[in-house]
Amino acid sequence: MSANPHFGLTGLATMGANLARNVAHHDIPVAVHNRTTARMERFIDEHGSEGPLSGYATTEEWVRAVERPRVLMSMVQAGAATDAVIEEILPHLDRGDILIDGGNANFRDTQRRHATAAEQGIHFLGVGVSGGEEGALEGPSIMPGGDREPYDQSVRPIFETIAAQVDGTPCCTYVGPDGAGHYVKMVHNGIEYADMQLIAESYDLLRHGAGLEIPEIAARFEAWNSSELESFLIEISARVLSKTDASTGQPLVDVILDAAEQKGTGRWTAANALELGVPLTGITEAVFARMLSARKAEREHAAGVLVGPPPAAGPDAELADDLEQALYASKIVAYAQGFAQMAAAAEAEDWRIDLGAMATIWRGGCIIRARFLDRIREAYAQEPGLLNLMLADFFAQALRDAQEPWRRVVARASELGIPAPAFSSSLAYYDGYRRARGPASLIQGLRDLFGAHTYKRVDRPGTYHVMWGEDGREVEV
C-alpha cells in the first residue's frame, strides 16, 4: 500500500481516536484531523508511534493529503455537528471521492446527505459502528450503507481488516443503499435498550423480590454468562455489580443515581416502528422506562403518597431460579421484534437487507454480541423468508420450555409491585402473536359505531357498515 494516506478520519473524540488507531495498527496510512487543532496534535503526540498516522490542522490540508479516490470518514456527534463537518469537507472533494459518516445518525438524515453528495458526484456512506471505545480500538461491528461499488472497491478492504473477527469472518457486511447502514445500527441500539432493561429488571427482582444480596446477584449473572444467556451485556453486568465504590465502601450500583440517560436512537427505533406498523413493545417499553427513571424528583414525591403491596417477606428461591428462563424468553422476543422491524423497513425502502448477515456481524465487536446470534443466523439460513424469529424451530422450542417460569416471573413481579415492563410486554407480545383470534373484533365494532369506519367479516369478502342510527341494517360499502 502507498505510504501516502488513502484513508482520512476527522473527529478525534474517544470513538474516532480509537478507530484511527485501529486502522493504523493494521499498517494502513491514516490522515487525521480535528476541529480543535490542539486535540489533533495531542493525539499525534500520544499515538503517532503506533502506526502510519499523520495529522493536519485545516480541512483543506487534510483532504489534499489523502490519495484519490479519497476515503474520508467523519466521527463527530450526530445532527447539526455532522452537517457542519460535511458542509466544510464537500467543497474540497473531487468527483468520485468517498465520504463516510460513522456517527449515530438518523437514517433519514443519511438519506438526505446521500442525495446532496450525489449531486456533486461524491459517494456517501452512512456506516453504523458498534462496540464502544474498546470495540473501536480492538475491532468493532461495522454496518455500511450507501453506494455499493465504491464501497466494494475502496472501503471494504479497510473495514473488513479493522472489524472484529469471529471464526475467521469479519463482523462487517454491506447492508444496503443510502440510509440502510444507519437504520440497522438504529435497530441494533433499540435491541440494546430492551436487553439492558431486561437485565435491570432481573437485577431488581433478584434483589427486591428474591431477596439476594448484591454479591449473590453478581455471581448469578456470572453463572448465566456460561449458559445460553452468554453475552457481552450479561458479562459486564456481573462486573458492574461486583464493583465497590472506593469513597464509600458501598456497592457502586448503590451510589449511582437511578436516572438512565439516552442519546435518541431508542426513541428513533420506537417512532419508526409506529410509522411502519410494527409492534415493537419490548424496545418501546425500555425507552419509556428510561424516561420514567429520569423523573427522579417526581418519583421521590410519589413514594410518600402512593401505596403498593408489602415487600417480599423473605428469600424467594423459585423467583431467582425462574428468572434465567424468563430473561432468555424475553430476550428472544426483543430480537424477534427488532428483526421484524428491519424486514418491514427493507420492504418499505427497497433495501433487501440480509437478516442472517446482520446476525453474523453482530456476533463480535458490538454491544449486543451474544451466543444465540449464531442461532439467529442459522434460522435465517434455513428459512430466509422467516416471518418471525419466534417461529423458527429452535426459538419456538426455547419459548415453549420457558413458559411456566416466564409467566411466574411476570405474575410475581405484579404481586410484589416491582415494575417489569419489558418482561410483561414481551410475554404479552408472545401471547398476542400466538392467538389465531383476538379481541380486536370488538374494537372494529366500536369504530364502526362511533365513526362509521367499517369492518370486514370472517365469513365472506367485502367491507361492511351497520346503520347504527337508523334501522340497524348491515350494508356492504
Chain length of the chain: 477
Domain boundary, last residue among 134, 155, 178: 178
How many structural domains are present in the chain? Answer: 3
- All three cell numbers of 55, joined, read 495529522
Q: In terms of residue numbers, what domain contains 227? A: 185-433
Count of beta carbons in the 10 Å neighbourhood of residue 439: 8
Q: Identify whether 423 is part of a domain.
A: yes
Q: What pLDDT, on the 0 to 100 scale, is given for residue 3?
A: 57
| pLDDT exceeds 60 at position 58 | yes
In a domain, 342, yes or no: yes
Could you report the per-residue pLDDT of 290-304, keeping only the tens digit for each?
A: 999 999 999 999 999
| pLDDT for the residue numbered 2 | 43
Q: Do residue 460 and residue 316 come from a single domain?
A: no
For residues 32 and 41, the answer to whether their CB atoms sit within 8 Å is no
* CA angle centred on 184, ends 180 and 189, rounded to 5°: 145
Q: Does residue 105 belong to any structural domain of this protein? A: yes
Compute the distance between CA of residue 179 and CA of residue 173 in angstroms, rounded to an integer: 14
Determine, yes or no, domain membership for 454: yes
Q: Are residues 174 and 213 in the same domain?
A: no
User: Both 388 and 267 in a single domain?
Assistant: yes
Instruction: Judge if 199 and 328 occupy the same domain.
Output: yes
**pLDDT interval class at 327 (50, 70, 90):** very high
Is the pLDDT confidence value at 161 over 60?
yes
Residue 314 pLDDT: 82
Same domain, 142 and 189: no
C-alpha cell recorded at residue 340: 421484524
User: Where does 34-121 show beta strands of DSSP type E?
Assistant: 53-56, 71-74, 98-101
Q: Are residues 301 and 422 in the same domain?
A: yes
CB 430 within 8 A of CB 402: no
Q: Is residue 140 part of a domain?
A: yes
Query: Is position 1 within any domain?
Result: no
Cβ burial 354-374 (10 Å sphere, 16+ → b, else e)? bbbbbbbbbbbbbbbbbebbe
Q: Region 158-185: what's the mean pLDDT?
A: 96
In a domain, 350, yes or no: yes
Q: How is residue 243 written as a grid cell? A: 464493583
Instruction: Note the pLDDT of residue 311.
Output: 87
How far apart (Å, rounded) are the C-alpha atoms in residues 114 and 70?
16
Handedness of CA 274, 275, 280, 286 (dihedral sign): negative
- The residue out of 178, 203, 221 marking a domain boundary is 178
Nearest to 78 by CA among 32, 112, 37, 53: 112
Amino acid at 219: A
Q: What is the mean pLDDT of the chain?
A: 95
Q: Are residues 89 and 157 in the same domain?
A: yes
- Pairing mode, if any, of strands 463-466 and 455-456? antiparallel
**141-158 residue pLDDT tens:** 999 999 999 999 999 999
pLDDT in tens, 19-39: 999 999 999 999 999 999 999
Same domain, yes or no: 121 and 232: no
**Whether residue 325 is found in the same domain as residue 351:** yes
pLDDT in tens, 354-405: 999 999 999 999 999 999 999 999 999 999 999 999 999 999 999 999 999 9
Whether 4 has a pLDDT exceeding 80, the answer reads no
CATH number of the domain to which 135 belongs:
3.40.50.720
How many other C-beta atoms can be found within 10 angstroms of the C-beta atom of residue 1?
Answer: 12
Residue 312, pLDDT score: 83
- What is the reported pLDDT for 1? 38
Residue 6's pLDDT band, with cuts at 50, 70 and 90, is confident
Q: Are 410 and 423 in contact (CB under 8 A)?
A: yes
Q: Which residues pair with 126 in a beta bridge?
A: 101, 145
Residue pair 218/241 in contact (Cβ under 8 Å)? The answer is yes
Contacts of 397 (CB under 8 A, 6+ apart): none
Alpha-carbon distance values, 29 to 5, 92, 129 (Å): 5, 20, 20
Q: Active-site residue numbers?
A: 185, 192
Read off the CATH number of the domain in which 210 is found. Answer: 1.10.1040.10
- Among the candidates 178, 193, 217, a domain finishes at 178
Confidence of residue 477 (pLDDT cuts 50, 70, 90): very high
How far is it, in rounded angstroms, from Cα 181 to Cα 155?
14
Same domain, 164 and 205: no
pLDDT band at 264 (very low <50, low <70, confident <90, very high): confident
The answer on 320 and 202 residing in a single domain is: yes
Q: How far apart are CA 238 and CA 173, in angstroms?
A: 31
CB 105 within 8 A of CB 182: yes
2 part of a folded domain: no
Q: Which amino acid is at 420?
A: A
Q: Are residues 108 and 203 in the same domain?
A: no
Render pLDDT for 396-430 as a digit per residue (tens, 0 to 9).
Answer: 999 999 999 999 999 999 999 999 999 999 999 99
Selection from 24, 144, 130, 33 nearest residue 88 by Cα: 33
Please determine, for residue 263, whether its predicted confidence score (pLDDT) is greater than 90. Answer: no
CATH code of the domain in which 459 resides: 1.20.5.320
